[in-house]
Structures are given as C-alpha cells and as structure tokens.
Amino acid sequence: MEQVAYLDAVAADAHTRGLVADDPQAARDARDARSDLDRHTALLDDTRREISRLLAEQDALLERLLELTRPPGRRKQP
C-alpha cells in the first residue's frame, strides 16, 4: 500500500511537470509513471483478493478439522 501511495505521488508530480513543461519527454514520463501506478494498483488488488480467498479456505479447513475431532455422535450432518 505504501508503494502504491508513493507511486501515486510520483504520477501526480510527473503529470504536473508534463502540463507545465509542455515537453514530449515530460508527457512520456507522466504516462510511464501512470502506467507504473496502474500496474502496482492492479497487483495490490489481486493480492487482496487472493488473501481473502485464502482466508476463506483456511476457515473452511479449520471448520472441517473441528468437525473431524468431534465425537461421532456430535458431528454435524452434511
């Protein structure tokens, strides 16, 4: 998250420089900075989704383990 915040600041700064400089190189730098920000944001979103999926899987496995450790008469019926 910190890296995305940093890249957001870099992209905003590059965008401002691109507007003020009216220079093709500054415009390319701004596009590159924005591309880096977009890529890192997408990776962060993917990572968050994967963490959520893994936590749900962990919960399901722990529930299953708990069921298997209960005495046979106290187990939930599937």
Q: State pLDDT tens for residues 41-64.
A: 999 999 999 999 999 999 999 999
- Mean pLDDT value across the chain: 92
Overall pTM surpassing 0.85 (yes/no): no
- What angle is formed at CA 24 by the lines to CA 19 and CA 26, rounded to 5 degrees? 55
Residue closest to 4 by CA, chosen among 36, 31, 49 = 36
Q: Which residue from 58, 9, 55, 62 is spatially nearest to 34, judged by alpha carbons?
A: 9
The span from the CA of 57 to the CA of 67, in Å, is 15
